[in-house]
Amino acid sequence: MVSKQMQNVIETLEWVKDNIHLVKVDPKEHGASFFERTPGEVLKSKQTNYINTCIDLTMATAILLKEKGFRPVIVAQERVHGVTKMPVVYLMIEVPINRCVHTIDYRRGKVAEIYKGRVDPKRASSQKHLALHRFSTDGLTRKTKPHTLFGFAGVFEVHNVFTHCSAKGAAELVKVMERANRTNLFKRVKNVNKRVLRR
C-alpha cells in the first residue's frame, strides 16, 4: 500500500508530466535562458524545451513539493556530457518521504524516476561523474531563478560554484541543440515519454 506522503509525491510528478508540455524552442533562446527561468515561469507557461528539461522540471517539481509541505533538496551533478565531452550541470531532487530520503530524476524528457536513497551518481548517468552539490530549498519561491539559488549571477559565472563547468561548455551544448533541431528528434520525443518510474 502506498503511503499518503508517497501518493502526494507521485501525484505531483503525474501533474508535471500531464501539464508541462515539451516544445521546440530556438536553441540560442533556450541557451540564453539556462539557469534563468523561475519555477513560476515554468508553471505559468506550462512549457519547457524538449532538450535539457532537467532544470525547468526539477525547479518546478521542487516548488510544488515544497508547497505541499515537503523539504526537497536540489542536487546538482557535474558530469561530462556524452556529446560535447565537456562538463555540464544536471539537476535532481532528494526528498524525505516517510523519514526516508528518495531521489527524483527526470532522466529524459518528462520521464521521472523515483527511487529510495540519495542520488547515486552511477545510477544518474553513464557519463563521467565529477561532483555533487546539494542546495536547500528553504529560500526557494516561485520567483527564484536557479542561478540565484545556486549562488552565481548568470551562466557566465557558473564556474564560481560548479568548478568543472564553464560558459564555454554551455555554448557547446547550444551547438549540439542546434544540430539536434535539424533532426526528427523532437517528433520522437514530443510528449510521448510521459512516465513516472518507481524503482
In order of their start, the domains of the chain are 4-192 (3.10.620)
Contacts of 185 (CB under 8 A, 6+ apart): 50, 51
Distance between CA atoms of residues 194 and 154, nearest Å: 31
**How confident is residue 100, by pLDDT bands cut at 50, 70 and 90?**
very high
Q: What is the pLDDT of residue 102?
A: 97
Give the mean pLDDT of 7-31. Answer: 87
Cβ–Cβ under 8 Å, residues 98 and 6: yes
Give 78's strand partners: 89, 131
User: Distance from CA of residue 181 to its chain's centroid?
Assistant: 20
Residues of the chain with pLDDT > 90, as a percent, come to: 58
Residues 135-187: pLDDT tens digits?
999 999 999 999 999 999 888 889 999 999 998 988 888 888 777 766 666 66
The type of residue at 5 is Q
Contacts of 89 (CB under 8 A, 6+ apart): 76, 77, 78, 158, 162, 165
Q: What is the pLDDT of residue 194?
A: 55
Give 50's strand partners: none
Q: What is the DSSP letter of 128?
A: P
Give 134's strand partners: 75
Q: Report if pTM > 0.85.
A: yes
